[in-house]
Structure 1
Amino acid sequence: MRTELEAAVADALRAPSVHNSQPWCWRISDDEVRLYADEQRHLIATDPDRRDLVLSCGAALHHLRVALAARDLAADVHRLPDPEDRTHLATVTVSRAPHGGDPAVAALYPAIAARRSDRRRMSRRPIPADHLQTLVQQAAHHGATLVPVTHPARRQQLLAVIAEAERLLHEQPGYAGELWSWTHRFPGSHDGVPASHVATPTSGTLNLSPLRQFGAAGLAQAPWLPGQGRGDDAAELLVVTTTGDEVIDHITAGEATSAVLLAATALGHATTPLSQALEIDSTRLRVRRDILHVPEHPQLVVRVGWPATGAPALPATPRRDLRSVLLD
């Protein structure tokens, strides 16, 4: 079984993470996988309270569960198993499923290889209501609530808050250098956000952009088509929320985010995780109090839409290999 576990962990390495920092380590035995946060990859200026780090690891944990189900393996997950080791986020005990893996979970497996963080303009074709409901159900199944911000006025508010958070982040000491570090990686580093995955700015749009300002952009936008007109795309902004705001809730948010992203990909949508507004205390409060009007805690914004017509498929972002993330 160990060979299958190694293959499943290799699939989990495709999970999204803040700045593609891949802040995780794994320990594999014959029937168990342990997930650890790699605090050497903690983005201190961007993510001072480790929210993004843990959420990223939660997404990898869900990717692992999907990969195991696809191999007809059952997973018993124990989150935060060691109160004296805050880096040990989960232990997954694995067994051969007598009737096969969970089919609903395993169905998401092909989306692991297909999912990308797409920072380009999306289509003006609206997302069907039943697709949004599917994504809401995915989040609920994993212990979180997904709140679509579809009302035009509230959507505009959310865009303004994201833009304000972007401004505040750039004023924080160390943020600009940290961002530069993760967008100008040395050859062979297999992480970070290369210019080839940052889209050139669009023109003629009416709204503020929710995308993080990564710097150098080498990814072309899809061409405007005759009769298409210019203006904003129809991508929806969805907010992942949890009842609490502790480490266990950040893990839950990561797992739910992974489920939403993979389900959206399976439906044919492009997706972009957006964390800026939740990395600043003041803007996180504004999202919760002034936009969502809910008691739950917002953890991440997910942008979902149809890919723009004529947009070529995105290549995969660089990833570290399995050997570099395994602990003895």
Structure 2
Amino acid sequence: MEHGLPDDNTVKTALALAVRAPSVHNVQPWRWRIGSRSIHLYLDPERALPSTDPDQRELVLSCGAALHHLCVALAALGWSAVVHRLPNPADPNHLAAVELLRHRSTPLDIALSAAISRRQTDRRHYSSWPIPHGYLGLVTERAAALGAIVTQAGNRPREVLIEAMRTAAALHAGDVEYRFELANWSGRHSSDDGVPARSTPRVESHDGLPAREFAAPALADGALEPDYAELLVISTSADDRLSRLRAGEAMSAVLLTATNIGLATCLLTEPLELADLRNRVRLEVLDGVAQPQAVLRIGWLPTSAPSLPVTPRRSVEDVLSPLESAAPSCS
């Protein structure tokens, strides 16, 4: 970058944390370009999931999470990010241009940045310890600051979500193209993308919170009690590309806040991949006033639960592209 702006090592350090963001099936659907005064985020359509995510909702959510991870990492490194979302109307895959300004890091900046490397998608059962209301209030507040709504699912909404999960699993079980796509992206043993077999437990028919059934599950759960996870729905007032991007940023803020507190998390998006079920969640869980973007399991792990292995990511070099001359500047 130009003189007075971060050196390339600082930028690549921030990008190495940005790519730790969660993504649907761990496809990591982002491309980054570094300009003289800005960093640009693009959605990579070559990593699309046409059967799982036909309208690219989850790809944009994933990129939004990576964008927020980047901003958090930069803040901890002494740089404030000014984000221009969807800066190029001629290119809908150009999701963000990020300008950088000097910034004095705060303890919160550093804590959230440290949470990036600790955050994991944990699909195991969670314990019965209650989550203090103040913690749930905090994640709600941080999501709201990024334009999203967090709704805690009470008794009836929880039943609706669980039924939607079961219905989605049944419909997907009969979808040959979906099953092929899922098998292609999961059950992996040596890869820098996709869902590793060691990260997915076996789905049991009696599970109270049904999860997506990935290929070749190899993670031992060991839980004898029901899953006591709370369910949170992350939603937005609209459902356009910008709203989905903002929802992904808010999703990242919730995940990093929860990790910093010590809570375990797991995103659930399968029931929202089917239009009829997504509409049911909108009407019966959100009273028809917001658009559901993701469901989050959140709770405390049992003290006996061992640490999970780190889920792999592609290197920064693999997701960097030269900055095209046509890309708009942010001067």
Q: Number of aligned residue pairs: give it.
A: 316
Amino acid paired to 1:210: P
Amino acid paired to 1:6: K
Task: Specify the SS of the correspondent of 2:61.
Answer: helix
Deviation at 1:106, TM superposition (A): 4.2
Bigger Cα displacement from structure 2, 9-18 vs 289-298: 289-298
How much is the aligned-residue C-alpha RMSD, in angstroms? 1.6
Structure 1 position 169 matched with structure 2 position 172 = yes
Amino acid paired to 1:25: R
> Residues 187 and 214 of structure 2 are in contact (CA less than 8 Å); yes or no, is this contact kept in structure 1?
no
Instruction: Note the 1:129-278 alignment, pairs <5 A.
Output: 129-149=133-153, 151-185=154-188, 187=190, 189-201=191-203, 205=207, 207=208, 209-222=209-222, 224=224, 230=225, 232-278=226-272
> Residues 210 and 274 of structure 1 are in contact (CA less than 8 Å); yes or no, is this contact kept in structure 2?
no
| Match among 108, 125, 141 for residue 112 of structure 2 | 108
Counterpart-to-counterpart distance in 2, 1:182 and 1:203: 23
> Residues 203 and 210 of structure 2 are in contact (CA less than 8 Å); yes or no, is this contact kept in structure 1?
no
Counterpart-to-counterpart distance in 2, 1:298 and 1:94: 32
> Residues 147 and 236 of structure 2 are in contact (CA less than 8 Å); yes or no, is this contact kept in structure 1?
yes
Counterpart-to-counterpart distance in 2, 1:271 and 1:283: 22
Task: Specify the SS of the correspondent of 2:123.
Answer: coil
1:117 aligned residue:
121
Change in CA separation of 1:167 and 1:204 when aligned onto 2, cut-off 3 Å: closer
2:39 aligned residue:
33
> Residues 69 and 103 of structure 1 are in contact (CA less than 8 Å); yes or no, is this contact kept in structure 2?
no
Amino acid paired to 2:184: S
1:306 aligned residue:
300
1:14 aligned residue:
20
Counterpart-to-counterpart distance in 2, 1:15 and 1:138: 17
Identical amino acids, percent of aligned pairs: 45
> Residues 59 and 258 of structure 1 are in contact (CA less than 8 Å); yes or no, is this contact kept in structure 2?
yes
Task: Specify the SS of the correspondent of 1:33.
Answer: strand
Amino acid paired to 2:116: I
Amino acid paired to 2:114: P
Counterpart-to-counterpart distance in 2, 1:201 and 1:290: 26
Change in CA separation of 1:314 and 1:82 when aligned onto 2, cut-off 3 Å: same
2:3 aligned residue:
none
1:95 aligned residue:
101
Q: Please, what TM-score do these two structures have when normalized by structure 2?
A: 0.91
Amino acid paired to 1:195: A
1:69 aligned residue:
75
| Match among 3, 6, 9 for residue 9 of structure 2 | 3
Counterpart-to-counterpart distance in 2, 1:49 and 1:305: 30
Counterpart-to-counterpart distance in 2, 1:111 and 1:276: 26
Amino acid paired to 1:64: L
1:284 aligned residue:
278
Bigger Cα displacement from structure 2, 50-59 vs 212-221: 212-221
Counterpart-to-counterpart distance in 1, 2:206 and 2:187: 29
Change in CA separation of 1:256 and 1:210 when aligned onto 2, cut-off 3 Å: farther
Deviation at 1:30, TM superposition (A): 3.9
> Residues 202 and 213 of structure 2 are in contact (CA less than 8 Å); yes or no, is this contact kept in structure 1?
no
The runs of 5 or more residues in structure 2 that have no matched partner are 1-5, 323-331
For residues 15-58 of structure 1, the C-alpha deviation after alignment (integer angstroms, 9 at most, x for no partner) is 00000000001001343110000111011100000000000000
Counterpart-to-counterpart distance in 2, 1:5 and 1:174: 39
Change in CA separation of 1:48 and 1:25 when aligned onto 2, cut-off 3 Å: same
Counterpart-to-counterpart distance in 2, 1:201 and 1:164: 15
For residues 234-257 of structure 1, the C-alpha deviation after alignment (integer angstroms, 9 at most, x for no partner) is 210000000110000000110000
The runs of 5 or more residues in structure 1 that have no matched partner are 225-229
Counterpart-to-counterpart distance in 1, 2:109 and 2:61: 19
| Match among 32, 46, 49 for residue 55 of structure 2 | 49
Counterpart-to-counterpart distance in 1, 2:106 and 2:248: 20
Task: Specify the SS of the correspondent of 1:299.
Answer: strand
Task: Specify the SS of the correspondent of 2:129.
Answer: coil
Deviation at 1:73, TM superposition (A): 0.2
Q: Please, what TM-score do these two structures have when normalized by structure 1?
A: 0.92
For residues 49-79 of structure 1, the C-alpha deviation after alignment (integer angstroms, 9 at most, x for no partner) is 0000000000000000000000110111000
Deviation at 1:102, TM superposition (A): 5.8
Task: Specify the SS of the correspondent of 2:220.
Answer: coil
